[in-house]
Homo-oligomer: A and B are copies of this chain.
């Protein structure tokens, strides 16, 4: 995982101390596929460093976002989640189980490519947030509906 070495170099450049906590957080972030929440990252970090505090993980993640080592993912406000992938990409969110999946959509990136502003706004970055139902949740929904219409549920009529 090359990004770790680069991470250390970038910290040095910026005068950010390379502490075991920061290393553990960036490691957890890069290892995760699932846009983890602060809690989840904290749990992962604690597997090796049981003493690390949740407040520190919060602080570190926010700092990483500021300096571009991570990105806060938009999830329609359940809790904050973070993404170690800072390349342009987009998200598919299951509205039922809240799992998130990265996708690439160069067509979308192209629409804004080269543009530096939009009306009075100076563009920074963008991501397409797609709300959807994952396969598992589609099945679950079907099952619920089947139950209802076949009157198998405990309270059949009103």
Contacts and interface: CB of A to CB of B under 8 A. Distances in A.
Query: From DSSP, what is the main secondary structure of chain A's interface residues?
Result: strand
Contacts of A76: 72, 74
B126 A131 contact: yes
A129 B126 contact: yes
Interface of A: 72, 74-77, 79-80, 92, 94-95, 101, 103, 105, 107-108, 111-112, 117-135, 138
16 contacts: A72-B77, A74-B77, A75-B77, A92-B119, A95-B124, A103-B119, A108-B128, A117-B132, A121-B132, A121-B133, A122-B138, A123-B131, A124-B132, A124-B133, A125-B131, A126-B131
